[in-house]
A and B are shown apart, each in its own frame.
Chain A
Amino acid sequence: QLQLQESGPGLVKPSGTLSLTCSVSGGSVSSPSYFWGWIRQPPGKGLEWIGNIYFNGNTYYSPSLKSRVTVSVDTSKNQFSLKLSSLTAADTAVYYCARYSASYFESWGQGTLVTVSS
């Protein structure tokens, strides 16, 4: 059974960079059948798509975040990662990683709260 687990610092400083990793078990990030993605949800608000990555490293980002986002994949560790730079309080959110199949996010991690504060 596929499992995804986010990990990373829960508190980051304004103007800094958020770095999160999603560890995948029960499936392979090297599979050509899927994309791997990041989604976030500010407290009390809705979901926002951040970006996806394919096993070959091709990336696709939300236009509103594109200038600050980098998603990468490490097939040797069966992980993929998110970096978001130039942080402000508006980036405080629960960050989810997920597996994307064809046209939908079929499996999600439990999410991790990242707070941007000094």
Chain B
Amino acid sequence: QSALTQPPSASGSPGQSVTISCTGTSNDVGGYDYVSWYQQHPGKAPKLVIYEVTKRPSGVPYRFSASKSGNTASLTVSRLQAEDEADYYCLSYIGGNSWVFGGGTKLTVL
């Protein structure tokens, strides 16, 4: 199972919105509503920001939203802030009690 496809980098200015994609197949992203997103600052453990495609855990700002269309899931960060600069990873269930991560996207706040 290959990693899900994410763009290596994304960027935006403070106050703008940025969308990060996560592309898989009908056997993973497209086949299940079990996509989650993780934010990772340098030297830190990943932190859950979205689960089950669109749900936001308690404490995650409303600026983080997500969706899915076909085999592609997307994470949108609105009203960008400096603290949003981090690596972002998607994770999808692939059946058989197995999971696969995306390759990761480095978000830069200009």
Contact = CB atoms under 8 A, between A and B. Distances in A.
Interface in B68-108: 89, 91, 93, 96-104
Interface in B12-61: 34, 36, 38, 44-48, 51-52, 57
Interface of A: 39, 46-49, 52, 60, 62-64, 96, 102-106, 108-111
Contacts of A108: 45-47
B48 A106 contact: yes
B109 interface: no
Interface of B: 1, 3, 34, 36, 38, 44-48, 51-52, 57, 89, 91, 93, 96-104
Contacts of B3: 46
Given A46-B3, A46-B104, A47-B104, A60 B98 contact: yes
- Nearest 4 CB-CB pairings of A with B: A104-B36, A60-B97, A103-B34, A104-B51
A4 to B, nearest CB: 9
Contacts of B34: 103-104
Given A108-B45, A111-B45, A47 B97 contact: no
A52 B52 contact: no
Contacts of B96: 60
Nearest to A101: B51
A46 to B, nearest CB: 4
B36 A103 contact: yes
Contact of A48 (B45, B47, B98, B101): B101
B104 A103 contact: no
A104 B101 contact: no
